[in-house]
């Protein structure tokens, strides 16, 4: 059962957790005791008494009280963990899978607690993936308005001509009618019957790069993400992980300065100087 709150319209529903887990994380009670507190009607979310087992909430947006005491401030003091994983092929960017396929969280030790992938990489895509318990960090990295760059290296069949690549750079309409944003694409190397490209995106649709190259008749045979924002790690081997440093977290969550507007400055408004750029 999902609590119907503002979080329900948010795209980050994976940050919701069972109330008993949230209460246990705050150190107020064990999960079993937390379940008893919920059943006894001693837990409220956004002022509503919750008694149904399995109810979920998001402490980033929901006000959670136990016996009348707000626990959100306690939760904010819980250590925030930010992990960089070099995801191998054959793993889902998820915390669980009903089909029993391996997930990226299985590559991390249980001592880190419950972490969530920041965005996704396809099952057969390799490369850098962030995982965290920090909802604000997740929101910043995945929000399109913050324009956090993601760089990919793709090996495609054949050698696409420059006209086709220029078409992808400008943006194309995919088979489902979705229009892709402009992308930076440069050829890295040719290896006989294949070509390597580097692709820079600010936001990505589901399997976007694979679908883009399929559209011009060149399927992607290998794909990996090599950079997130200014974060790159050429030493981290597939399947391995490490914690981000404080400076890396700050670097990833620092907004890029906006480009200067071409609108006239005060002197031009006053009639001084040229109105041409």
Phi, psi of 31 (to 5 degrees): -60, -40
Rg for the chain, CA atoms, rounded? 23
The catalytic position among 62, 97, 122, 233 is 122
Best CA proximity match to 113, nearest among 28, 25, 238, 32:
25
Best CA proximity match to 123, nearest among 199, 12, 219, 210:
210
How far, in Å, CA of 212 to CA of 199, rounded? 11
Q: Are 80 and 42 in contact (CB under 8 A)?
A: no
How far, in Å, CA of 276 to CA of 38, rounded? 67
Helix (H) or strand (E) holding 140, with range, is: helix 135-142
| CB-based burial label for 203 (10 Å; 0-12, 13-18, 19+) | middle
Q: Are 198 and 153 in contact (CB under 8 A)?
A: yes
Phi, psi of 22 (to 5 degrees): -65, -45
Q: Are 240 and 196 in contact (CB under 8 A)?
A: no
**How many Cβ atoms are within 10 Å of 107's Cβ, its own excluded?**
19
Annotated catalytic residue 134: no
The catalytic site residues sit at 122
């Amino acid at each position: 059962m999902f609590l119907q709150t503002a979080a329900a319209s948010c795209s980050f529903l994976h940050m919701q957790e069972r109330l008993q887990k949230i209460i246990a994380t705050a150190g107020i009670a064990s999960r079993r005791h937390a379940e008893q507190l919920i059943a006894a009607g001693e837990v409220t979310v956004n002022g509503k008494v919750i008694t149904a087992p399995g109810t979920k909430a998001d402490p980033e947006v929901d006000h959670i009280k136990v016996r009348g005491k707000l626990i959100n401030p306690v939760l904010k003091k819980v250590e925030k963990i930010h992990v960089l994983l070099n995801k191998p092929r054959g793993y889902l960017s998820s915390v669980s899978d009903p089909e029993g396929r391996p997930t990226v969280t299985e590559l991390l030790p249980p001592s880190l607690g419950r972490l969530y992938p920041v965005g996704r990489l396809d099952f057969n895509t390799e490369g850098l993936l962030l995982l965290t318990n920090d909802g604000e960090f997740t929101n910043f990295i995945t929000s399109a308005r913050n324009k956090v760059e993601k760089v990919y290296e793709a090996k495609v069949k054949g050698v696409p001509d420059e006209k086709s690549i220029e078409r992808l750079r400008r943006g194309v309409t995919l088979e489902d009618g979705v229009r892709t944003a402009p992308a930076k694409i440069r050829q890295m190397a040719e290896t006989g019957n294949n070509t390597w490209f580097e692709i820079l995106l600010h936001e990505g649709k589901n399997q976007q790069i694979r679908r883009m190259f399929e559209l011009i008749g060149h399927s992607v045979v290998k794909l990996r993400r090599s950079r997130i924002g200014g974060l790159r790690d050429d030493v981290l081997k597939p399947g391995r992980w490490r914690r981000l440093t404080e400076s890396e977290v700050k670097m990833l969550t620092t907004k890029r300065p906006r480009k200067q507007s071409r609108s006239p400055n005060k002197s031009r408004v006053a009639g001084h100087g040229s109105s041409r750029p």
